[in-house]
Amino acid sequence: MKTTFNLFWSVGFLVLTLGALHGRTWTEASSGRKLEGEYVKMMGEAVVVRLANGSTLQLPLARLTEADQAFVKTQTETKPVAREAPKSGEKDDVKKQLLGTWDGYMADSDGSRHGDIRLEITEEKITASNPQGNREMGSGTYKLTGRRIDATGTDGQFAGKKYEGIFELDGKTLRWCSANDNPNSSRPSKLETNTQAGQFLMVLEKK
């Protein structure tokens, strides 16, 4: 595995000298060496990355920086299920699972923690606050359609604003990705922050 890893970075350095790839810059934690490549998938304990020449290589996840590992966590085979119709009774079951208090963070585009946030979700509305100062930010109503979640602000800094999003609920972990209130922003198809598209991801744990 060590030989494969060293070869990975050697090839990666060559790719960077030949031209940039529209992907992510990966960093080896111990040496700080960097590699440009597009995330493909996880395979066991390794990240599969596509290089500029079209070839793929595997990079042991444990040797990446914490930011890279956090990014990979948000990419684990997420599928755009937002357009799927809910099964009979599924909508009510999902809504019941959403009710309660959720603590978590806003994620940067690399998956790292950007800022803390707390959501109080009831049958009728969602209230957001900053848990570091217990400062309420605002609240609004929401609607679930399959794996879509659309929120409309009713007071605070969100008043009158609409947010179209998708979500994934896995036990007590909620990943909610939404477009911001800019009219040019569209509903995300992936659970990841994309600042250029005006899309942001929240990663939350139920208390």
Q: Which domain holds residue 185?
A: 90-206
Find out whether 63 and 29 touch, Cβ atoms under 8 Å: yes
> What integer is the mean pLDDT of 192-200?
91
180 pLDDT above the threshold of 80: yes
Beta carbons within 8 Å of 176's beta carbon, 6+ residues apart:
149, 165, 166, 167, 201, 202, 204
Please tell me whether residues 114 and 201 are part of one structural domain: yes
> What integer is the mean pLDDT of 83-112?
79
pLDDT at 114: 81
Element (H, E) at 117: strand 113-121
- 115 pLDDT band (50/70/90 cuts)? confident
pLDDT at 53: 78
Question: 147-165: per-residue pLDDT in tens?
Answer: 999 999 998 888 899 999 9
- 18 pLDDT band (50/70/90 cuts)? very low
Cβ neighbours around 183 below 10 Å, total? 8
Instruction: Give me the chain's average pLDDT, please.
Output: 82
Query: What single DSSP character describes residue 194?
Result: B
Question: 33-84: per-residue pLDDT in tens?
Answer: 998 888 888 888 888 888 877 788 889 999 999 999 988 888 865 444 444 4
- Residue 50 placed within a domain: yes
- Residue 80 placed within a domain: no
| Model confidence, pTM | 0.56
For residues 99 and 133, what is the distance between their CA atoms, to the nearest angstrom? 23
Query: Which of 137, 145, 194, 140 is CA-nearest to residue 166?
Result: 145
Please tell me whether residues 138 and 197 are part of one structural domain: yes
CATH number of the domain where residue 134 is located: 2.40.128
Please indicate whether residue 124 or residue 76 has the higher confidence score (pLDDT). 124
Please indicate whether residue 50 or residue 193 has the higher confidence score (pLDDT). 193
pLDDT at 133: 62
- Residue 83 placed within a domain: no
169 pLDDT above the threshold of 90: yes
Please tell me whether residues 153 and 117 are part of one structural domain: yes
Please tell me whether residues 36 and 108 are part of one structural domain: no
> Which of 44, 74, 104 lies at the terminal end of a domain, its last residue?
74
Please tell me whether residues 29 and 118 are part of one structural domain: no
> Which of 20, 45, 74 lies at the terminal end of a domain, its last residue?
74
CATH number of the domain where residue 42 is located: 2.30.30.700
- 87 pLDDT band (50/70/90 cuts)? low
Please tell me whether residues 171 and 136 are part of one structural domain: yes
Please tell me whether residues 33 and 102 are part of one structural domain: no
Beta strand pairing status for 173-179 and 24-27? unpaired
Please indicate whether residue 160 or residue 133 has the higher confidence score (pLDDT). 160
- Residue 98 placed within a domain: yes
What is the separation, in whole angstroms, between the first and last Cα of the chain? Answer: 40
- Percent of the chain clearing pLDDT 70 (strictly above): 81
For residues 41 and 39, what is the distance between their CA atoms, to the nearest angstrom? 6
Please tell me whether residues 176 and 137 are part of one structural domain: yes
> What integer is the mean pLDDT of 182-205?
91
Please tell me whether residues 113 and 62 are part of one structural domain: no
- Residue 25 placed within a domain: yes
Please indicate whether residue 88 or residue 18 has the higher confidence score (pLDDT). 88
Please tell me whether residues 96 and 163 are part of one structural domain: yes
Could you give the number of structural domains in the chain?
2
